[in-house]
A and B are shown apart, each in its own frame.
Chain A
Amino acid sequence: MVVDDIDDEATSQVFHALADTTRRDILRRAVSGDLSVSRLAEHYPMSFAAVQKHVAVLERAGLVSKQRNGREHLVKTNPRAVRAIRDTIDRLENAWFGRIERMARLLDEDTKGQPT
């Protein structure tokens, strides 16, 4: 595991939030940022309260934020959080690039250290 700069608790929250079809759908629809919770709720076969709960999970994971607009709450996606998912995989890639370089150096040392 890479320790340096992954905030693992936040990552877990993001993955948990995304492990639900409705929440992923809300995330998609909220990209433009002009949907209120009640408008969102029209899309799903569940109560307004249930949709609100889903939005709250996304909000806690930092994937969306709510903005007050008069009597409505508009749901807006936080693109940085979504990008963070990809960054996590990028970091894993970088960690392995570094490891493979060090492995190669170690193999070189071994060869040089042996009489031929």
Chain B
Amino acid sequence: MTVTSVDKDLDNLTLTLVADFEAPVAEVWQLWADPRKLERWWGPPTYPATVEEHDLTPGGDVTYFMTGPEGDRHRGWWRVDAVEPPTSLEFTDGFADADGKPVADMPVTTMRMRLTEHDGGTRMEMRSTFDTREQMEQLDKMGMTEGLKQAVGQMDALLPG
């Protein structure tokens, strides 16, 4: 496995990550499509995930909870926006409360995942867009771009390490 590139776009609050695997596309797709496989990589090692619902069709839901070291549970959900097996998946990813209901105030991430054949293996491109799409568009329209870049640029000089 190699992570080929990482593009952090502070202006648009996106993270684009490209990774190459030696396995064929169909196998990498299974890591997303098979809930028993998905739960083995989705949660951090100290917060293993358990996938409950897993409906990879447009409008479908994936629900899961992660179990923390103290037995604490953290629920999350995906809402599938678009899917084309075995090469692409788009979904919104957010938090849920103890009853599994989405928490409205929490930020959500929009994910776009693409798999393509590459050098006899598979290239996976992931774009995460931070926070809600509406808020992103709003931020972008308002020219967040320069503002944030300048502010952060000036601040770096003020900070140790």
Contacts and interface: CB of A to CB of B under 8 A. Distances in A.
B130 A92 contact: yes
A92 B44 CA distance: 12
Contact of B139 (A19, A28, A88, A90): A19
Contacts of B106: 8-9, 12
Contact of A12 (B31, B105, B126, B143): B105
Contact of B130 (A79, A88, A97): A88
Interface residues of A, number: 44
A86 B8 CA distance: 9
Among B126, B135, B154, B159, chain A packs the most CB atoms within 10 A around the CB of B154
A11 B138 CA distance: 16
Secondary structure dominating the interface of B: mixed
B105 A9 contact: yes
Contacts of A110: 23, 27
Interface string B87-124: 00000011100000000011101000000000000001
Interface in B1-37: 1, 3, 6, 8, 10, 13, 15, 17, 19, 21-23, 27-28, 31, 37
9 contacts: A15-B135, A18-B144, A24-B148, A27-B147, A28-B150, A88-B130, A92-B128, A104-B1, A111-B23
5 closest residue pairs by CB, A with B: A104-B1, A24-B147, A102-B41, A79-B155, A107-B23
Given A1-B109, A15-B107, 6 more contacts: A3-B44, A18-B147, A24-B144, A28-B147, A90-B8, A98-B45
